Amino acid sequence: MRGATSILRYLAKRITLLFGTLIIATYITIVIANAGGYIDEILSAQIKYDITTNLARTQGWAQLPEEEKTRIINERFESAIKAKGLDKPFIERSFYYLIDALTLNLGRAIFITSASGSKRVADIILERLPITVLLFTTGTVLYSIIGLLVGVYMTKKPGGLFDKIFSIFAIVTEVIPPWFFGILFIMVFSYYLGLTPFGGIASVPPPQDPLGYFLDILYHASLPLFTWVFSLFGAWAYIARNLMVQIAEEDFVITAKAKGLPEGIVMRRHILRPSLPPIVTSISLSLITSWQGAIITETVFNWPGLGSLYSQAISALDAPVIIGLAVVYAYLLVVTVLVLDLTYSLMDPRIRGVA
Amino acid sequence: MSITGGSKDIFDAIFRSKPGLTGVLILTIIIGLSIIALVYVPFDISSKWNDITFWQFNPRLAPPSWINFFLSKKLPETIIIGEKDFAKYDYYVETAGLKHIVLEAKLDYLYEYYPSEVNAILYVNNSNGMLVTLKWIQPNGVEIYLSRLVVNDGINPIYFCTRKDVKEGLLNTMAKLGTVPPDTIKPEVLLFSDLNPSGGFNILRGTYRFKIEAETTSRNATIDSKLIVYGRVYGLAGTDSKRRDLFVGIVWGAPVALAFGLIAAILTSFIQTLLGTLSAWYGGLVDEIIQRVTDIYMIIPFLPILITISVIYKINIWTLLAIVVALSIFGGATKTARSMALQVMNEQYIEAAVSYGASRKRIMLLHILPRLLPYTVANIVLSVPSYVFLEAALSLLGLGDPAMPTWGKIISDAFEGGAVVHGLWWWVLIPSTLIIMTAIAFAFIGLALDKVVNPRLRER
């Protein structure tokens, strides 16, 4: 029981912090965006649109003279603005906006439409979200596993040839972002070798049968996945290796070795296990960076997730979508950290309260 | 973790290790390149880079000239016949009230490949309309009647490759010679081909003549011409789709990239370290606030906020730099610096300083901060590439500074211009190589410094 309460206390603290972060990130976005008057514009456009579409459905509307129509629209518009508190000073309004944004009430896009035909920003973004999450979660799981394995292998003989080569590989791939490798890999694997498609998620037209469709997506995802893993597993292995090399010098490891325990057991129980919590902490930080790196990587591979939506919205100057994306990204990062915190609290005995 | 310190250690670490030395060497070359930038390209780049007329005499999408070194059949360079190379004579016929001007230029074409384009530019002065006839005489004496057109005062570019009358002139010549014309008429190819029935449209090497005959009613009128036979290779780094010399863009990109990366890295690292030290040394409420703010800063979606700012305010590269710094005043280094400062604080010499009555501020600035210097330097070095790539990433999203030719801008232009899918390797690979070399240089120096900062990682 003591374990459970201390996990809960830890999580409650983290959730408060994360929720605070979410609110602050969203609020910053709102303040920045509204300094250009964008949010006011988005909201009044939304209200006007709602009023006009509602009125158009009422009986006898079409028969009214044009001035009468404008008068009614303006009247209702003004009262709606008052009712929503949009005539209040910005400080007060910003809190209404904050609540709207946090409940994903993000307004209507100017140019971009979702595949289902909706103009609501929330629809447009939520439709893309799974596509991004699918690719990059798979990629992240893959590079974490490969990286950890390589890290363990490097720890076996610190200073050995494998360790040296991989340290250099790690430090070189660490400083070069995945999207940059993406550009080079498209040139090599798609243009010169013709092995992979140039981008996108499926062929045009996509295959009809479900298995063919799945394989087609896999074929299109192969190069982005490879790029993601190639670019990130090295740094990851290096972090794991450094932590494990430090732990391998601790007295309890030396004792375990002196007792004559097999190397595999020493590695798993005495080295790998205590290094996992700090490894999880650093993965949560690197995940935050890589979620954002996904924006550019998707643009390069034309992968139709959030990142491509970003570049689409930037070139169309669709401000509501850009602001909405910033909010969704704040959610995405906060949820990622929360999930990792949960894992961390289950993994670290100090938090579990089992001393 | 024990903390060694001092600038001598930093120096030693860099110059006594192979990666450190390699990094310094690469960096020296790149800094040399940015010095060349100022010598080779003395003009104001930001006003010229997007000026199409400035680059109009370069071939479009040409690979660098040095590839000829690896080829047995050489690709042509651009040949420009300037105004002074034209033989010129004119006479005025009083009775008719007409002025005749004849310009003629000779062109030696000895390459085994066709040029990529042929243009002429006519500079007309003081004329109220001039009737111009253009003729092309091949080495074997075949005369091709290219065009007869009226040109006005000013600069008149004549694009042979797209003009209908040039095509007709070629077809007429072939009809006269009795040659069956090929399926596609490419003026830049046929102008340099043997058009005789037995010639088989093979390239004709030798001296060509380009003749301009002009007639006008104004007595003072003058005409000058320039003939540009665009090659298929150009310069040290080739050209892009707007005919810009990529070498100019790349050498100018070097100081911009280095300045952007270094300034951002130095400012953010110093501020973060300072805040971390403050947090440890003053403790209590200061510590709590700084740590919580750092926690929040580390999760905030940095790039989306940066994108929102760039989209809404359309900023230039130096404003972007200021915003990047403002968004990174708290970060990973704040946490590490705090934990390092906590260790230093427990050492005896700090206790000694406290006991002889040194002020808290003095102890922090003179006794604690210098000890964190190696860490800060390592942090600066390792974060430079990420800022260089950040600028490139924003360019790729279309948010870069449009006036400055940065490496990122060139790579993103290449990507958008289809260089990757059409295999225009020089446009992508040359700037990429430089950006990678810079990143690796900093990474190697960082690797060398890592051993000062984390002595436990020293190879045994």
User: Do the Cβ atoms of B135 and B146 come closer than 8 Å?
Assistant: yes
Same domain, A50 and A134: no
Whether B67 is in a domain gets the answer no
Distance of alpha carbon A70 from alpha carbon A51, whole angstroms: 11
- Tell me the angle at which helices A161-175 and A210-248 cross, rounded to the nearest 10 degrees: 120
Contact B396 A292 (CB under 8 A): no
Identity of residue A252: F
Residue A190 has pLDDT above 80, yes or no: yes
Residue B457 has pLDDT above 50, yes or no: no
Report the number of distinct structural domains present in chain B.
2
Residue A348 has pLDDT above 80, yes or no: no
Number of other CB atoms surrounding residue B47 within 10 Å: 10
Residue B3 has pLDDT above 60, yes or no: no
- Residues of chain A above pLDDT 70, percent: 96
Average pLDDT (B363-379) is 86
B303 touching A (Cβ < 8 Å):
yes
A336 band by pLDDT with thresholds 50, 70 and 90: confident
Closest partner residue to B443 (CB to CB) among A172, A186, A311 is A172
Same domain, A223 and A149: yes
Contact A175 B440 (CB under 8 A): yes
- Residue-wise pLDDT tens digits, B415-440: 988 888 888 999 999 999 999 999 99
Contact B385 A285 (CB under 8 A): no
Number of other CB atoms surrounding residue A158 within 10 Å: 19
Residue A243 has pLDDT above 90, yes or no: no
- A242 contacts on B by Cβ (under 8 Å): 454, 457
Sign of CA dihedral B47, B53, B55, B61: positive
Same domain, B163 and B132: yes
Of A108, A106, A104, A85, the C-alpha closest to A95 is A85
Whether A346 is in a domain gets the answer no
Determine whether B408 is exposed, middle or buried from the number of CB atoms within 10 Å of its CB (0-12, 13-18, 19+): buried
Please, which residues 192-231 of chain A have a Cβ atom closer than 8 Å to chain B? 192, 198
Average pLDDT (B136-144) is 89
pLDDT of residue B289: 92
Report the number of distinct structural domains present in chain A.
2
Same domain, A190 and A269: yes
Q: Which of the listed residues B208, B230, B252 is the one where a domain comes to its end?
A: B230
Residues written for chain A: 355
pLDDT of residue A52: 82
Same domain, B302 and B199: no
Residue A129 has pLDDT above 50, yes or no: yes
SS (H, E, C) B147-188: EEEEECCEEEEEECCCCHHHHHHHHHHHHHHCCCCCCCCCHH
Whether A328 is in a domain gets the answer no
Whether A56 is in a domain gets the answer yes
Whether B70 is in a domain gets the answer no
Residue B4 has pLDDT above 60, yes or no: no
- Residue-wise pLDDT tens digits, B160-214: 888 888 888 888 888 888 888 888 888 888 889 888 888 778 888 889 999 999 9
Same domain, A144 and A286: yes
Same domain, B173 and B283: no
Residues written for chain B: 460
Same domain, B392 and B269: yes
Contact A180 B305 (CB under 8 A): no
CATH code assigned at A210: 1.10.3720.10
pLDDT of residue B458: 42
Contact B385 A24 (CB under 8 A): no
For residue A122, give how far its alpha carbon lies from the nearest alpha carbon of chain B (Å): 16
Same domain, B181 and B44: no
Q: Which of A58-62, A232-236, B64-68, B331-335 has the lowest mean pLDDT?
A: A58-62
Distance of alpha carbon B346 from alpha carbon A52, whole angstroms: 70
- The DSSP element (H or E) to which A252 belongs, if any, is helix A251-258
Specify the 3-state DSSP secondary structure of A148: helix
Whether A323 is in a domain gets the answer no
Identity of residue B124: V
A352 band by pLDDT with thresholds 50, 70 and 90: low
Same domain, A133 and A96: no
Same domain, B261 and B394: yes
3-state percent breakdown (helix, strand, coil) of chain B, nearest 5 = 55, 15, 30
Q: Which of A280-284, B296-300, B401-405 has the lowest mean pLDDT?
A: A280-284
Same domain, A85 and A167: no
Q: pLDDT averaged over chain B?
A: 86
Identity of residue B71: L
Same domain, B433 and B327: yes
User: Do the Cβ atoms of A109 and A115 come closer than 8 Å?
Assistant: no
Q: The pTM is what?
A: 0.84
Closest partner residue to A292 (CB to CB) among B296, B303, B398 is B303
Same domain, A201 and A299: yes
B197-224 residues labelled b (16+ CB within 10 A) or e (exposed): eeeebeebeeebbbbbebbbebeebbbb
For residue B262, give how far its alpha carbon lies from the nearest alpha carbon of chain A (Å): 14
Distance of alpha carbon A174 from alpha carbon A185, whole angstroms: 17
Of B121, B127, B147, the C-alpha closest to B225 is B121
- A170 contacts on B by Cβ (under 8 Å): none
pLDDT of residue A83: 75
Distance of alpha carbon A223 from alpha carbon A219, whole angstroms: 8
Task: Return the CA Rg of chain B.
Answer: 32
B301 touching A (Cβ < 8 Å):
yes
Which whole-number Å values give the CA distances from A65 to A50, A61, A249, in the listed order? Answer: 20, 9, 87
Same domain, A133 and A89: no
Same domain, A176 and A224: yes
Whether A325 is in a domain gets the answer no
- Best to test chain B binding among A97, A187, A286 (most B CBs inside 10 Å): A187
Nearest CA in chain A to B297: A21
Same domain, B257 and B386: yes
Same domain, B28 and B114: no
Q: Which of the listed residues B230, B262, B291 is the one where a domain comes to its end?
A: B230
Distance of alpha carbon A321 from alpha carbon A121, whole angstroms: 6
User: Do the Cβ atoms of A221 and A135 come closer than 8 Å?
Assistant: yes
Contact A187 B456 (CB under 8 A): no
Average pLDDT (B132-148) is 89
Average pLDDT (B248-273) is 90
More confident residue, B231 or A2: B231
For residue B364, give how far its alpha carbon lies from the nearest alpha carbon of chain A (Å): 29
Contact B397 A330 (CB under 8 A): no
- Residue-wise pLDDT tens digits, B21-49: 999 999 999 888 778 777 776 667 777 88
Which whole-number Å values give the CA distances from A334 to A236, B13, B96, B230, B318, in the listed order? Answer: 21, 39, 87, 56, 30
Contact B396 A179 (CB under 8 A): yes
User: Do the Cβ atoms of B190 and B201 come closer than 8 Å?
Assistant: yes
Distance of alpha carbon B291 from alpha carbon B277, whole angstroms: 11
Average pLDDT (A68-91) is 79
pLDDT of residue A2: 58
- The DSSP element (H or E) to which A321 belongs, if any, is helix A319-347
pLDDT of residue B48: 82
Same domain, A150 and A297: yes
Number of other CB atoms surrounding residue A348 within 10 Å: 18
Average pLDDT (B124-147) is 87
Average pLDDT (A256-273) is 85
Please, which residues 80-109 of chain B have a Cβ atom closer than 8 Å to chain A? none
Whether A342 is in a domain gets the answer no
Same domain, A94 and A224: no
Q: Which of the listed residues B170, B200, B230 is the one where a domain comes to its end?
A: B230
Distance of alpha carbon B144 from alpha carbon B191, whole angstroms: 8
Which whole-number Å values give the CA distances from A234 to A135, A156, A171, A293, in the listed order? Answer: 19, 16, 8, 16
Residues with Cβ within 8 Å of A157's Cβ and at least 6 positions away in sequence, in order, are A163
Whether B185 is in a domain gets the answer yes
pLDDT of residue B1: 41
Whether A352 is in a domain gets the answer no
CATH code assigned at B247: 1.10.3720
Paired residues of B88 in beta bridges? B103
Please, what is the end-to-end C-alpha distance for chain B in angstroms? 16
pLDDT of residue B459: 42
Whether B2 is in a domain gets the answer no
Identity of residue B169: G
User: Do the Cβ atoms of B59 and B117 come closer than 8 Å?
Assistant: yes
The full DSSP string for B291-358 is: HHHHHHHHHS-HHHHHHHHHHHH---HHHHHHHHHHHTSSSHHHHHHHHHHHHHHTSHHHHHHHHTT-
Nearest CA in chain B to A18: B296
CATH code assigned at B199: 2.60.120
Q: pLDDT averaged over chain A?
A: 84
Same domain, B214 and B249: no
pLDDT of residue A36: 65
Q: Look up the domain containing A78 and give its range.
A: 2-102
Same domain, B226 and B264: no
- A196 contacts on B by Cβ (under 8 Å): none
Same domain, B349 and B326: yes
- Residue-wise pLDDT tens digits, B118-129: 999 999 987 778
Closest partner residue to B296 (CB to CB) among A20, A171, A176 is A20
User: Do the Cβ atoms of A51 and A341 come closer than 8 Å?
Assistant: no
Whether B68 is in a domain gets the answer no
B312 touching A (Cβ < 8 Å):
yes
Residue B2 has pLDDT above 70, yes or no: no
Q: Look up the domain containing B421 and give its range.
A: 7-52+243-457
Average pLDDT (A253-276) is 85
Q: Which of A55-59, A165-169, A349-353, B90-94 has the lowest mean pLDDT?
A: A349-353
Of B294, B313, B324, the C-alpha closest to A24 is B294
Residue A246 structure tokens? 């430090």
Residue A355 has pLDDT above 50, yes or no: no
B327 touching A (Cβ < 8 Å):
no
Nearest CA in chain B to A25: B300
Specify the 3-state DSSP secondary structure of B132: strand
- Residues of chain A above pLDDT 90, percent: 11
For residue A291, give how far its alpha carbon lies from the nearest alpha carbon of chain B (Å): 9
- The DSSP element (H or E) to which A66 belongs, if any, is helix A66-84
More confident residue, A237 or A291: A237
Same domain, A218 and A281: yes
pLDDT of residue B6: 61
Contact B305 A25 (CB under 8 A): yes
Average pLDDT (A10-36) is 85
Please, which residues 266-325 of chain A have a Cβ atom closer than 8 Å to chain B? 285, 288, 292, 295-296, 299-300, 310-311, 314-315, 317, 319, 322-323, 325
Residue A87 has pLDDT above 70, yes or no: yes
Distance of alpha carbon B446 from alpha carbon B105, whole angstroms: 59
Residue B394 structure tokens? 């924003």
Distance of alpha carbon B393 from alpha carbon B248, whole angstroms: 21
